[in-house]
Amino acid sequence: MTGLDPLVEEVLMAALAVSALIALIALLYWLSTGLSPWPFVILAAIAGFAPGIAMLSIATPRHRR
């Protein structure tokens, strides 16, 4: 047990999942086009980061202590 509040754990796991998805999309864009993903993919992903975390945190089942 980490001792963290379950909601904090859910937000951290959602942030990790969204970050991994952003990195995967940027890598695939770079490998498929040969262009830097910075101006388009990364900036668009940053704009979607907070809503993505919120949606994943809300969608997870609640765990009671």
Cα 45 to Cα 43: distance, rounded to the nearest angstrom: 5
The confidence score (pLDDT) of residue 64 equals: 55
The confidence score (pLDDT) of residue 63 equals: 57
Q: What is the pTM of this model?
A: 0.69
Vertex 26 angle, CA 24 and 30, to 5°: 115
**Residue pLDDT tens, the chain, 65 long:** 467 777 778 778 878 888 888 889 889 989 999 988 887 777 887 788 888 777 777 776 765 55
Domain ranges (residues) in the chain:
6-59
Cα 34 to Cα 48: distance, rounded to the nearest angstrom: 23
Angstrom CA distances, 33 to 2, 40, 55, stand at: 42, 13, 30
Cα 57 to Cα 35: distance, rounded to the nearest angstrom: 33
For the record, the structure tokens of 39 come out as 């101006």
